[in-house]
Amino acid sequence: MSRCKFAIFIDSMLFITMAAAMAMIFLYAPIESEMGIVQKIFYVHVPLAWNAFLGFAMVFYYSFRYLSTRNPRYDRRALSAAEVGVLFTTLVLITGPIWAKPVWGIWWTWDARLTLTLVLWLIYIGYLMLRRYIESPERRAVLAAVVGITGFIDVPLVYFAIRWWRTQHPQPVIAGGEGSGLDPAMAATLWVSVAAFTFLFLALFGRRLDVEVERSRRETERDAAEAAHAQGVRT
């Protein structure tokens, strides 16, 4: 499958699954008995978080591949995944307090999962800032790869925080042990939403990667033109 056809497939699946997810969230999933209608943000908040983790896992993988091969295409992919991961984490940090305020009575609390999620966001904001302030492409890619790999340590800490420490954050409803679980209609809605936001992630990643590939091509052409000009001046 060509890249263009793959992009069309991703966009088509994004449209179908996102439409289905929105319909299921508001028309099919029942209203939770204790939290009420505000609980429906769960179907956006959780898929955003899981796909943010996916983005940072991709940064980890592509950073490792870059350090192993020094192939710049892996660096471009790591950067693209990091930017989309930061976007999704930002939305997690926005939707979380919107959900928390009516339920907890506060916008924010410094419990383990919330604090570690904020730390994760700051790590990859730092990753993006690092790339902006280093001019040498190779040095920039190497240092960014190191940050991308070490920063991923925080992802399992965020995931397991509610299992390891007592937190105000709700306990897991998926693989949470005895007493956990979702109503079947809620579970179906969640998985359709996960699929929709995964296709959204892939669509954004693909477009950001296209931009980065084009930027790299133009930078290469500019450097070649400058080198040719300098050679002409010397001769």
R_g of the chain computed on alpha carbons: 21
For 25-38, what is the HEC assignment? HHHHCCCECCCEHH
Token readout for 152 is 């991923």
* pTM of the full structure: 0.89
Specify the amino acid at residue 180: S
At 176, is the secondary structure helix, strand, or coil?
coil
Task: With a cut of 60, say whether residue 175 has pLDDT above it.
Answer: no
What pLDDT is attached to residue 180?
55
* CA atoms of 146 and 214, how far apart (whole Å): 25
Q: Which residues contact 234 (CB under 8 A, 6 or more apart)?
A: none
What pLDDT is attached to residue 231?
65
Per-residue pLDDT, averaged over 34-43, amounts to: 90
